């Protein structure tokens, strides 16, 4: 019987991509088969997120639960990867001695070797380095699972926002050569993928690493991806307002395959707080980008990230954030109370905002964001949208799930399972909390 691999992924879509690639690597190198039951596993990998303290604590709670599995099965190996591994390194083992292997986001290609080392040594295998040789050079051709796929186009970030740990855990920006990205997209398309999402911590910074000119940035990459036979829909995430140029706005007029959705984190609507955050843009500059995007695509769907309770945030600063929420009209957003992170400059700022005020601001913000999203969804009722059927509904096996051309999830009933992977027209008949209900358009 082959060895069993269980991977649990926390955090962002980049981690999802990395987990899938580790699965490919271990299958090729050691014949590992994946299992959804952690009790069956010979190797358990936890791909972690450290963007907030709460996310980091989840890591050790999970490792505590797996300690009992290792007590039952001493041959079980446990590995920790991702940003917590990069940030904490060997200190993880002091708190969780049941861990055998630690690796960072840039060393996932070395996981098979680290696993082999465990067989030949009596101590944990650790590699959280930032190798100059890109990990992508050592990854096999990706599998295709369904009609949609992630494609990583770059890693790391050079912005060093004062609150963000990413540059410290994933390193500086590294872009993949355009030719290499297109080869991966083409490989996926030949396996039935129709919908690709281009991934990066800051995709606006993408530059073809073989030809470093402004003409070969994200907008040019999107043009090239659009020419790949079989690819019918393109998305990207995550963007930064500082480098959201006119060329990227114009691409929405040029490439109909590019979905009508942009995730553009603003974090705060206060220029004073944005300066403390080292975001390199103002509220006015952000709103100007939004206005141009809506002109390029009148039905543009927008989402964002917000941090409330940043050190020094006043009532006026918070009202400036609410003003942005009111003016933009977001379909979806992610909002959190500020969490100090290691190695960031913001952790040394004096925090004058009480916990109670932070909670009240977050609750108020989330109520307004939910109200905005529901209002936008209700305006879609009665309209017909082109949707890609991605699979069975997670909540009701009697229904299907599709993604509209503005990234909204649409649930609908149908008796034909062969419809999965197809583009269909759905009439929106109901706006729900986070999804839409549709029927086949006649």
> pLDDT tens for residues 54-98?
888 899 999 999 999 999 999 999 999 999 999 999 999 999 999
Give tens-digit pLDDT for 340-380: 999 999 999 998 899 999 999 999 999 999 999 999 999 99
Task: Give me the mean pLDDT over the 114-132 stretch.
Answer: 87
**Rounded average pLDDT over 375-393:** 96
Strand pairing category for 43-48 and 101-103: unpaired
Residue 134 — very low, low, confident or very high, per pLDDT cuts 50/70/90? low
Predicted local distance difference test score (pLDDT) of residue 131: 76
| Interatomic CA distance for residues 34 and 3, integer angstroms | 9
Gap between the Cα atoms of 310 and 356, Å rounded: 13
The number of angstroms, rounded, from the C-alpha of 296 to the middle of its chain's C-alpha atoms is 25
- Confidence grade of residue 120 (pLDDT, cut at 50, 70, 90): confident
Domain limits, the chain: 4-127, 135-380, 384-440
Distances (CA, A) of 9 to 38, 191, 258: 13, 24, 27
* Helix extents (H) in 259-314: 271-277, 283-296
Task: Choose the weakest-confidence range: 50-54, 198-202, 245-249, 336-340.
Answer: 50-54
Q: Give the percent of the chain with pLDDT over 70.
A: 98
CATH topology for 135-380 is pyruvate-formate lyase- activating enzyme (3.80.30)
Cα dihedral 249, 250, 252, 258 sign: negative
CATH of span 4-127? 3.40.50.12160
Rounded CA-CA distance 109/22 in Å is: 7
Give per-residue pLDDT as tens, 216-254. 799 999 999 999 999 999 999 999 999 999 999 999 999
pTM over 0.85: yes
Q: Are 101 and 80 in contact (CB under 8 A)?
A: yes
The closest alpha carbon to 241, from 218, 264, 263, belongs to 264
Asked if 274 and 287 touch (Cβ cutoff 8 Å), the reply is: no
Q: Alpha carbon of 70 to those of 30, 99, 222: distances in Å?
A: 21, 10, 46
User: What is the Cα Rg of the chain in Å?
Assistant: 22
pLDDT band at 212 (very low <50, low <70, confident <90, very high): low
Question: Which region holds residue 309: left if phi is over 0, alpha if psi is between -120 and 50, else beta?
Answer: left
Residues 146 and 197: beta-carbon distance below 8 Å: no
Q: What is the pLDDT of residue 396?
A: 87
In this prediction, residue 141 carries a pLDDT of: 80
CB atoms within 10 A of CB 151: 22
Torsion of CA 134, 140, 146, 151, to 10 degrees: 20
pLDDT value of residue 144 = 86
Q: At 368, which helix (H) or strand (E)?
A: helix 355-380
**Homologous superfamily assigned to 384-440:** Nucleic acid-binding proteins (2.40.50.140)
Residue 1: its pLDDT value, please?
A: 64
For 8-44, what is each residue's pLDDT tens digit? 999 999 999 999 999 999 999 999 999 999 999 999 9
Q: What length does the chain have? A: 442
pLDDT-based confidence at residue 168 (cuts at 50, 70, 90):
very high
What's the pLDDT score for residue 395? 86
What is the enclosing helix (H) or strand (E) of 65?
helix 53-72
Six-digit token string for 87: 């940030």
Q: Poorest-confidence range of 159-163, 269-273, 373-377, 394-398?
A: 394-398
The band of 132, judged by pLDDT with boundaries at 50, 70 and 90, is low
Quote the pLDDT of residue 123: 87
């Amino acid at each position: 019987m082959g060895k069993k691999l269980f991977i649990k992924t926390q955090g962002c879509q980049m981690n999802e991509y990395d987990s899938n690639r580790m699965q490919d690597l271990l299958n090729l190198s050691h014949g590992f088969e994946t299992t959804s039951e952690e009790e069956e596993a010979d190797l358990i990998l936890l791909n972690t997120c450290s963007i907030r303290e709460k996310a980091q604590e989840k890591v050790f709670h999970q490792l505590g639960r797996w300690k009992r599995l290792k007590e039952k099965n001493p041959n079980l190996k446990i590995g920790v990867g991702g940003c917590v591994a990069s940030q904490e390194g060997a200190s993880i083992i002091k708190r969780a001695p049941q861990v055998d292997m630690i690796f960072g986001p840039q060393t996932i290609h070395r996981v098979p070797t680290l696993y082999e080392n465990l067989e030949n040594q009596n101590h944990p295998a650790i590699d959280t380095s930032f190798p100059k040789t890109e990990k992508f050079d050592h990854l096999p051709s990706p599998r295709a699972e369904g009609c949609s796929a992630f494609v990583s186009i770059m890693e790391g970030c050079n912005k060093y926002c004062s609150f963000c740990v990413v540059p410290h855990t994933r390193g500086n920006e590294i872009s993949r050569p355009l030719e290499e990205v297109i080869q991966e997209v083409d490989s996926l398309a030949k396996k039935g993928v129709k919908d690709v999402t281009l991934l990066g911590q800051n995709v606006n910074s993408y530059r073809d690493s073989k030809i470093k000119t402004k003409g070969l940035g994200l907008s040019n990459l999107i043009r090239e991806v659009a020419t790949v036979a079989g690819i019918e829909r393109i998305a990207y995430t995550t963007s930064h307002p500082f480098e959201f140029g006119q060329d990227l706005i114009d691409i929405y007029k040029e490439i109909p395959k590019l979905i009508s959705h942009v995730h553009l984190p603003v974090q705060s609507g206060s220029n004073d707080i944005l300066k403390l955050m080292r975001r390199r843009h103002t509220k006015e500059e952000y709103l100007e980008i939004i206005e141009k995007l809506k002109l390029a695509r009148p039905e543009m769907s927008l989402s964002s990230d917000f941090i409330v309770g940043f050190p020094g945030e006043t009532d006026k600063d918070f009202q400036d954030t609410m003003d942005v929420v009111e003016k933009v009209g977001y379909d979806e957003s992610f909002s959190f109370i500020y969490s100090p992170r290691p190695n960031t400059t913001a952790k040394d700022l004096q925090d004058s905002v009480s916990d109670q005020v932070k909670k009240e601001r977050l609750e108020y913000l989330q109520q307004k964001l939910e109200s905005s999203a529901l209002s936008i969804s209700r305006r879609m009722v009665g309209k017909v949208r082109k949707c890609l059927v991605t699979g069975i509904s997670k909540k009701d096996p009697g229904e299907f799930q599709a993604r509209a051309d503005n990234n909204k999830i649409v649930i609908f009933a149908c008796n034909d399972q062969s419809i999965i992977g197809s583009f269909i027209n759905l009439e929106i008949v109901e706006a729900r909390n986070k999804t839409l209900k549709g029927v086949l358009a006649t």
